[in-house]
Structure 1
Amino acid sequence: MKKPLVLAVTGLAASAAIGAGVYSSAHKTIALDIDGQTTQVTTFSGSVAGLLEEQGIVLADGDLVAPSTSSSLSEGGEIVVRYQREVTLDRNGEQEVLKTTAVDAEELLDTFAARGDDNVRLVASRSLGQERVDIGLRLNHDGPVAILVDGKNTVIDGQHGEVEDILKAQGITLGDEDLVSIQNLATGATSVNAEDEKSTDKSATTGDSVEVALDGAAADDTMVTLVVQRVETETKTKKSDIDFKTVTKKDANRYKDQASYVATEGKKGERTRTYEVVTIDGKVESKKKTSDEVTKKAVDKVVVVGTKERPVVVTPPKTSSSSSSASSSSNSSTSKPSTGGSANVSGVWAKLAQCESGGNPRTNTGNGYYGLYQFSLPTWRAMGGSGLPSDASAGEQTRLAQKLQARSGWGQWPACARKLGLL
């Protein structure tokens, strides 16, 4: 670590105080240290202000000079000048502008390290265009520095100038979004640990003036490092399916007992999401959704069902060729129900059967209702029926329907009874 400036300033001020107020016109040789670069100059001037004027050195607010400009000069004296500069400091991902009189980046970072604030970094500015990279300070004017880029750590010996000069000398080309910073990293480090970059020290604030005025040094196993981080921004898309819906369409021209059918096959849709993904040295730094849209609409599956009632077909009663055969047929019918598919159903019962089942005694729609009068099994059996109503003769179905009507009224067939004016 470089000798703290405050100590050098204190020593110079003490020697200058001895000759304060004394003007000498004798020829003198003075050591002039301008930002760490020392040269020997000769002068007949008797004061610091006179020598600075001879050398064309103009001080601005915030610049340091020791001893003070009003101090007198003597043979073998030394004048130290430190120009104040603005640098951009990053801590915990937040940037602040800082004023400093440090000679180089190493000196400034060592100052923070002495405070216990190791995890700060200087951020290079590229505001002058992509061709220039600047941090406002030299890296290390009299010692080695490391360069960390693309996972490789290279140490360079000797004096070094601006960041831009070092990058060019090493043949390092920067991408438009690449980040450049100066940090104190472990010697030989091949990557930047994001957690190590975070600082818990919040003492410095924007606009603070930091001077090299503290004793102490950075750890021996660290080195001021020029870090180049490769930044890439990519647009990525993600596609996902959208399920289709199943809808039922009623067809008034299709009979209720007819099987349903698929009129339109369902097709899945597609949703496309777009993300902007930023990576630093290959690791995802941020992911931002930039769009979310349906790129293909789903097609509903359409199932058609009928709602039309079948017409009742009533078979007219058979006529006998003679009264005796009619009587015989009548007696036979009375003694034993017919097992055929038609029956002597007439009048209001014929109309009711037509409305309920289209007049078909074998009707079985699969919905739990059977025969001419659409009996449910519990009701059929309660009336004394056996088996399925649709297996019984039309006469038997009519007989039990009449029995049910006599007991419970026309309300057992609410829709058709209302349609026929029976309710």
Structure 2
Amino acid sequence: MSNSQYQTYETYGPNDPYAAVYDPHSAETVAYGVQVAPTLPTPPMPVSYEDPYRPAYELPEAPAPHSGAGRRAARRRKGRGAERPDSAMRRLLPQALVVAFLAGGTTAFVAKDKAIELTVDGKPRTLHTFADDVTELLADEGVDVGAHDVVAPAPGTELSSGDEIAVHYGRPVRLTLDGERREVWTTARTVDGALKQLGVRAEGAYLSTSRSRPIGREGLTLDVRTERAVTVMADGRSRTVRTNAATVGEVVEEAGITLRGQDTTSVAPGSFPRDGQTVTVLRITGTKEVREEAIPFWVERTEDPSLFKGTEVVEQAGQAGLRRITYSLRTVNGVRQKPRRIRTEVLREPRTQLVKVGTRPMPMSVQGADGLDWQQLAACESGGRPDAVDPSGTYGGLYQFDTRTWQALGGSGRPQDAPAAEQTFRAKKLYVQRGASPWPHCGSRLHG
């Protein structure tokens, strides 16, 4: 509250007897902000005339009553005595106004003053303030609060004398809780307080630092692994352990189980063990097996205009390659697993088969043989099947050519592999050369 209400006393003149009555900056202080004015002094009396109110025993000797001076003095005393009540009132009125004004200002001053207990981050102090609410008080005291700080009661709350204000500063904690990392804020000043505030169960837990360690305004990094129940299955037995271990492998060791050779667990040994998790130990035995397998060859076809359409000639026979494959054979807890390929070695590369494909149009007419019944001949020789082969494997096709005769007529490969139209065309050429003699049993069918 401002002291400007007392500035009205500066308007008295320099010779005014009340100008030095009250100075708010030097008055005696009986409580913080409560000032009491000293007793008003009696103003000095003028020295140029005699005090008419002096007691009779102090008056100078009176002149004779019948003298002129005596009569005049008596009249003055009588006149002044008649005026005395009003004059005294006029002199006492300014003093009474000053006292009343000071009393009213002091009452307002006391009403604005409040005794407050302010606790900042656990450090209490009692102070007097004229602030109207919590926000104004914190600003007056230079207490800055941020988004993560807690003020109780809340900023903006009106103040009354006797109130208690608490400011709790927020502190960042880089917390790794059971393998999960996050950043949290706490107003607790110790690790133990932060754990309680964050609802972290600390009984049986692993802490990377002491629970009593103080947390500064800059915060700290904290790793917490709570106690969990994990069941380990091994060798036909079940073991449940309570642990705050960081990995499944550590849990298995705590259960008194030893992994040997290729043994492992059903979950990765380096993974974080969860509460209620069941871990199975896998006893593994294994061997290796080597096998050789053929590598299929590729077939490459190229067009050949010298060959009739539908005719394919193998220019280079393909050859399969050979590779050696090593497999891992495992038995897990007595059960044989599917072989797993672990290495491949090529012993021989495959050779590509080259094939010529005819694009020349096939002639259908041969002079001197077109009018014969070739369908009946084919039905007699092969049952009308272009790919027919006799039991000896010597003759093939519709008309049962042997390979040498077929190739002499311009055919390529085997007759049973050629199209039906080409087989009929070459049979007609053979008839022109040799008649029906190549078909001694069925040749008569050509003439119906």
TM-score, normalised relative to structure 1: 0.24
Q: Of the two, which has the highest radius of gyration? A: 2
Task: Report 1 or 2 for greater relative contact order, CA contacts < 8 Å, sequence distance ≥ 6.
Answer: 1
TM-score, normalised relative to structure 2: 0.23
